[in-house]
């Protein structure tokens, strides 16, 4: 072998060493830049001078006949505050009145009208239960798979299903609340797990192909549709004639309730390779829109303009929907949990943390405030907690539950365990 060939095989030429060095530096710089870019995009953001609308502190419920009480929508109010102003007496400790075993995952809570609870299991079975006794009044198999709460009026229950088992991917039903007979149903070209919202004779919900529907509540005819850029899995939130919802493209949008016309759309400014996704249902209070995102942040947007007011990074997915109230001693506060296992109480104006609670496992479902206690469930260990809204002190614990746990009729609470529905009354 020649001397030249020996040198060629013994060490690489200097120009290749130089090129390799440059490539290493470029890759290192790219990685560092990507890390900093990602951290800055998904870190916490605070705009302390953003507009904030003061609202009066919530009061207890007015007295009404018990046979007319209604918890009509997912999240109780149409603006999805997930706050129920129960009397001071509706608080732990509780004693169990009855339990109904559904033999199926109960991912979403029931709704109430008069003396009945209406709940949709993940097996797409809709059950009407006597709230006083726990006895099943009627049940209907509506499909193969579902993941939503119904909406109820004085005579009709509205239900969306993911898999209808009837040829179409999804379907919405209007069911007679008295006997479970179908009033009407509409096949959908995509699956739907958006809990329906009923207002002024219209039913609003979203679907996985990004279509948001406004249907006539009496016959199911389409009033209008709106097409988002990603799947809409949340329940639309209504405030002041405007519907708010996020989608799986990472955008939050506000549209007209009457026409479906876009008013504004804002991004989540999420992950490097695409925005985080919005599964969380919005809460609209204090002139702001609050919701969680899978990029790990809890967001607050201006309800009128869509401008970002603040965003707080939790460190992992936030599927949960926020609960909002004016807490004694704290003022306007929002409550929700993260996949990190941390449950947060945040200042609704600034986004700053008021207190936290370590639940020890992933929190996927949403919290609900009953009176002065906020309830939430922990996914990994199937446990439900109740904490004081002003202090974060644990007041209640039950070894069941995984997602959205509690609703109330102002007298008792009804807790959705992993597969069972429990009626609990204050001792």
**How confident is the model at residue 212, as a pLDDT?**
98
**pLDDT > 90? residue 64:** no
Helix and strand totals (H; E) in the chain: 2, 35
Note whether residue 12 is domain-resident. Answer: no
- Please name every residue paired with 254 in a beta bridge, in sequence order, or none if there are none: 244, 264
The answer as to whether 298 is a domain residue is yes
Q: Measured in Å, how far apart are the chain's first and last C-alpha atoms?
A: 96
CATH of the domain at 404: 2.130.10.10
Mean per-residue pLDDT for 206-218?
Answer: 98
In the block, residue with structure tokens 């493209």: 249
Residue 122 lies in a domain: yes
Residue with tokens 């006794």: 133
The pLDDT value given to residue 14? 58
Q: Is 407 within a domain?
A: yes
Q: Which pLDDT value is given to residue 53? A: 75
Q: Look at 44-48, 125-129, 137-141, 220-224 and tell me which has the smallest mean pLDDT.
A: 44-48
Whether the ω angle into residue 373 lies within 30 degrees of 0, i.e. cis, is no
Residue 397 inside a domain? The answer is: yes
Residue linked to tokens 């239960």: 129
- Mean pLDDT of the region 74-89: 95
Q: Cα–chain-centroid distance for residue 158? A: 18
pLDDT at 91: 95
Print the domain residue range for 231. Answer: 43-426
- 111 located within any domain: yes
- Tell me what pLDDT residue 273 has: 43
The answer to whether residues 398 and 383 touch, using CB atoms and an 8 Å cutoff, is yes
pLDDT digits (tens, 9 = 90+) for 271-325: 434 468 999 999 999 999 999 999 999 999 999 999 999 999 999 999 999 999 9
Q: Which pLDDT score, from 0 to 100, does residue 4 have?
A: 41
Q: Per residue in 323-381, pLDDT tens?
A: 999 999 999 999 999 999 999 999 999 999 999 999 999 999 999 999 999 999 999 89
In a domain, 3, yes or no: no
Cβ-defined contacts of 349-357 (< 8 Å, 24+): 349/52, 349/286, 350/46, 350/48, 350/310, 351/44, 351/46, 351/298, 351/300, 351/309, 351/310, 351/311, 351/312, 352/46, 353/312, 354/330, 355/391, 355/392, 356/392, 357/385, 357/387, 357/392, 357/394
Domain count for the chain, please give it.
Answer: 1
Indicate whether 34 belongs to any domain: no
From start to end of 236-330, where are the E strands? 237-239, 242-246, 251-256, 262-267, 283-285, 288-292, 297-302, 308-313, 323-327
pLDDT in tens, 5-61: 443 334 455 555 556 555 656 555 544 443 433 444 568 787 776 777 777 656 555
| pLDDT recorded at residue 371 | 96
Q: What is the mean pLDDT of the chain?
A: 88
Q: Is 393 exposed, middle or buried (0-12, 13-18, 19+ CB in 10 A)?
A: exposed
Q: Which one is predicted more confidently, 65 or 235?
A: 235
């Amino acid at each position: 072998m020649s001397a030249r060939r020996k040198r060629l095989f013994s060490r690489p030429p200097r120009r290749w060493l130089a090129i390799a060095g440059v490539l290493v530096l470029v890759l290192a710089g790219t990685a560092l830049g990507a890390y900093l870019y990602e951290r800055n995009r998904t870190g916490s953001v605070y705009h302390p001078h953003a507009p904030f609308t003061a609202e009066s502190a919530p009061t207890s419920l007015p007295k009404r006949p018990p046979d007319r009480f209604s918890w009509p929508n997912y999240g109780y109010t149409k603006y999805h505050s997930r706050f129920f102003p129960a009397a001071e007496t509706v608080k732990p400790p509780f004693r169990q009145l009855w339990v109904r075993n559904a033999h199926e995952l109960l991912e979403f809570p029931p709704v109430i009208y008069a003396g009945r609870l209406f709940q949709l299991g993940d097996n797409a079975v809709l059950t009407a239960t006597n709230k006083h006794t726990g006895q099943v009044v009627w049940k209907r198999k509506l499909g193969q798979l579902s993941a939503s709460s119904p909406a109820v009026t004085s005579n009709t229950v509205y239900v969306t299903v993911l898999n209808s088992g009837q040829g179409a991917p999804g379907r919405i039903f209007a069911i007679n609340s008295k006997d479970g007979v179908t009033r009407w149903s509409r096949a959908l070209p995509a699956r739907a797990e958006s809990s329906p919202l009923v207002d002024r004779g219209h039913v609003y919900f979203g679907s996985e192909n990004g279509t948001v529907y406004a249907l006539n509540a009496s016959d199911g005819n389409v009033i209008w549709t709106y097409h988002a850029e990603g799947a809409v899995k949340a329940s639309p939130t209504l405030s002041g004639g405007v519907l708010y919802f996020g989608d799986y493209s990472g955008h939050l949008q506000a549209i007209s309730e009457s026409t479906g016309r876009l008013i504004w759309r804002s991004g989540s400014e999420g992950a490097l390779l695409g925005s985080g996704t919005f599964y969380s249902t919005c809460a609209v209070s204090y002139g702001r829109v609050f919701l969680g995102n899978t990029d790990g942040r809890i967001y607050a947007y201006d309800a009128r303009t869509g401008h970002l007011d603040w965003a707080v990074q939790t460190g992992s997915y936030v599927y949960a929907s926020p609960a909002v109230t004016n807490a004694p001693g704290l003022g306007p506060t929002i409550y929700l949990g993260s996949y990190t296992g941390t449950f947060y109480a945040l200042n609704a104006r600034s986004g700053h943390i008021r207190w936290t609670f370590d639940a020890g496992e992933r929190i996927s479902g949403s919290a609900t405030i009953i009176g002065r206690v906020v309830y939430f469930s922990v996914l990994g260990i199937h446990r439900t907690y109740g904490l004081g809204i002003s202090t974060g002190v644990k007041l209640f614990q039950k070894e069941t539950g995984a997602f959205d746990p509690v609703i109330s009729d102002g007298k008792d609470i009804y807790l959705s365990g992993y597969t069972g529905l429990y009626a609990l009354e204050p001792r």
